[in-house]
Amino acid sequence: MSRVLVAVLAVLLFAVPCVAGDRCETVFSGEKATYDPMVPGPVFDGGRDILYDNGPFENEPGLSVLQTALGMGTYGFGHQVSAGILISDEFVVPVGATWEIHDITFFAYQTGSSTTSTITGVYVEIYDGSPDNPASSRVWGDISVNTMTATMWSGVYRVLDTDPAATNRPIMASTSHIGTTLTAGEYWIVWQSDGSLASGPWAPPITITGQIGTGNGLQYYLDVWSPVVDLEGQGFPFIIEGVHPTPVEETTWSLVKAMFR
C-alpha cells in the first residue's frame, strides 16, 4: 500500500467526529439515564493562586449541558488508561512571567457512578509544543506515574439538553501534584485517567451555551494524534494552581469557583 494511500486513510479515520467506542461517549452509546435525587455540590476552592483556567464546563447551574439542539452529540472523550488513550490541550505562560506550578485539576466522569468519585489515577506530562509535533520535547512528567493527590465530585452533572434531570454522569474534579517551574512560552499538557468502573473515564469538553467550537484539544488513539471534534474543535477544562508574582484571578475562574457551594 502506498504512503499516500495510508495518509489518506488516516485522515478519513481520525479527522472526523468519533462514534461510540473507546474514543468517545456519544448520544448513540446506549447508556440509559438514571434519575437519583440531585444533591448540592461540595465545597471546593483551590488553596493557591489560580495561574490559568482553560475554560468552563458548567453552562447551567449544576449542569454541563450537551447541546443536541446545535447538532452536537458527544458527552465526553475517552482518555482511559485501559485503552491507551491520551488527550492534550495547551496553555501559555505570558511573556516575562515565571510560573511555579503546584497542582493541576482535571475533570472526568464514569457513566453510572454515584457522586463518590471512582477516579483512581491521573497521569500527566507537559511538553514545550504540540505533542503531534516531533520537534516538541517533554519538559515535565512521566505518563506511567500516577500523580493524583485528591479527587471529588465537582457538583456538576453532564446531561443532555433534552434530559437535564439525569444524574448518571457526575463530573469529578481530580487534582494532580506537579511541582515544577515554567518560564514564558506555549506548553501542552498530555494526560489520561483511570477509574474503577467499566465506562470511561470520559473527559467533558469545554461547554459554552450557544457555542459549538471551544478549542483545539487533541486525542491520541491507535498511535495517532488527531483533533478532538464534535462538529467543530473542542477544548478541555483544566485549572492550574501555583505561585505567580501577580496572581491572575480570571473572570472565568470566578465563575468556576461559584459552582462549588
Residues 243-257 have pLDDT tens digits of 866 544 444 445 555
What was the pLDDT predicted at 256? 53
- Domain ranges (residues) in the chain: 3-258
Contacts of 84 (CB under 8 A, 6+ apart): none
Q: Which residue has the higher pLDDT, 37 or 170?
A: 170
What was the pLDDT predicted at 14? 46
- In the numeric block, which cell numbers belong to residue 50? 489560580
Give the chain's radius of gyration (CA, Å): 18
**Element holding 256 (H helix, E strand):** helix 251-258
> Residue 84: which region, alpha, beta or left (left: phi > 0; alpha: psi -120 to 50)?
left
What was the pLDDT predicted at 4? 40
* pLDDT tens readout for residues 149-168: 999 999 999 999 999 999 99
pTM: 0.82
Q: Is the predicted pLDDT of residue 12 greater than 50, yes or no?
A: no
What was the pLDDT predicted at 24? 75
Q: Is the predicted pLDDT of residue 209 greater than 60, yes or no?
A: yes
* pLDDT tens readout for residues 131-153: 999 999 999 999 999 999 999 99
* pLDDT tens readout for residues 186-207: 999 999 999 999 999 999 999 9
Mean pLDDT (whole number) for 74-101: 97
Contacts of 236 (CB under 8 A, 6+ apart): 54, 77, 87, 89, 106, 107, 203, 205, 206, 215, 217, 228
What was the pLDDT predicted at 254? 54
Question: Do the beta carbons of residue 172 and residue 159 sit within 8 Å?
Answer: no
